């Protein structure tokens, strides 16, 4: 039987406590500076995820995918030896730092420097301030799936399962609910009554059936739930 040392046990307790404090959030990253250290496949995956932000990838070498993203103007690449680079200068003004090199000691050093400057981190080989979930996006529906780093394979497995369920018509229902909600605001002052009507629409199977073939027909059926103007 293997007995954990007291220090190892305390470290495990600390990690569990840190993870238990995590809260899922959806953040607008547009125009936010994201610095990725490492130009390999992991760095490419992270850069692809954040390509709508202001992304800088620093590394000696880069994958062809990263070079393609740079050619498209989605990311900026900085060729440098990270062991000789002023990391503090690179992370200045950053919203998030992602250490994604193949050197755990260098990644730990980057995290340490980022923390001193109160910059959020997402290290690929440890627990940082942020855990990036596996993401499903269908229209205005965004679903993040995370096992808090315990099983990336399970996150991917659940994403593939949910992608089969959350089809385009779910995104169309979001659009429909938004449009009907705006109409209701002009006709009904009571919020609870508006909410009741929106739930009636959500539970109307004929509307869901129409979303497979005709959004206009689904909208027409939804409006039947809305009282006329007086």
pLDDT digits (tens, 9 = 90+) for 171-200: 999 999 999 999 999 999 999 999 999 999
The pTM of the full predicted model, rounded to 2 decimals, is 0.76
Q: Which two tokens stand for residue 27?
A: 């953040």
- Radius of gyration (Cα) for the chain, nearest Å? 23
pLDDT at 8: 52
Q: What is the pLDDT of residues 16-54, one digit of tens each?
A: 455 557 788 888 999 999 999 999 999 999 999 999 999
In angstroms, the CA 206 to CA 78 distance is 55
Give the model's pLDDT for residue 22.
Answer: 77
More confident residue, 211 or 4: 211
Q: Which two tokens stand for residue 77?
A: 């690449």
pLDDT higher than threshold 50 for residue 2: no
| Distance, CA of 229 to CA of 136 (rounded, Å) | 39
pLDDT at 4: 45
> Cα(132)–Cα(46) distance, rounded to whole angstroms?
9
Query: Is residue 132 over pLDDT 90?
Result: no
DSSP, res 67: H
Q: What is the DSSP code (8-state) at residue 133?
A: P
Whether 145 contacts 159, CB under 8 Å: yes
């Amino acid at each position: 039987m293997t007995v954990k040392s007291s220090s190892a046990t305390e470290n495990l307790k600390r990690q569990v406590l840190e993870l238990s404090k995590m809260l899922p959030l959806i953040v607008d990253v547009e125009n936010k500076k994201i610095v990725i250290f490492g130009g390999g496949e992991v760095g490419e995956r992270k850069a692809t995820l954040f390509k709508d932000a202001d992304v800088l990838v620093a590394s000696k070498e880069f994958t062809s995918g990263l070079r393609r993203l740079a050619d498209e103007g989605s990311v900026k690449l900085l060729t440098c030896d990270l062991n000789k680079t002023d990391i503090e200068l690179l992370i200045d003004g950053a919203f998030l730092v992602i250490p994604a090199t193949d050197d755990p000691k260098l990644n730990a050093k980057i995290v340490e420097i980022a923390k001193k400057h109160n910059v959020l981190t997402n290290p690929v080989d440890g627990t940082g301030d942020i855990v990036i979930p596996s993401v499903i996006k269908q229209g205005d529906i965004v679903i993040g799936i995370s096992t808090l780093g315990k099983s990336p394979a399970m996150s991917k497995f659940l994403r593939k399962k949910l992608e089969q369920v959350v089809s385009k018509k779910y995104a169309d229902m979001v659009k429909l609910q938004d449009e009907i909600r705006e109409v209701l605001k002009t006709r009904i002052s009571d919020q609870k009554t508006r909410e009741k009507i929106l739930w009636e629409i959500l539970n109307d199977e004929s509307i869901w059936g129409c979303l497979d073939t005709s959004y206009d027909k689904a909208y027409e059926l939804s409006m039947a739930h809305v009282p006329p103007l007086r």
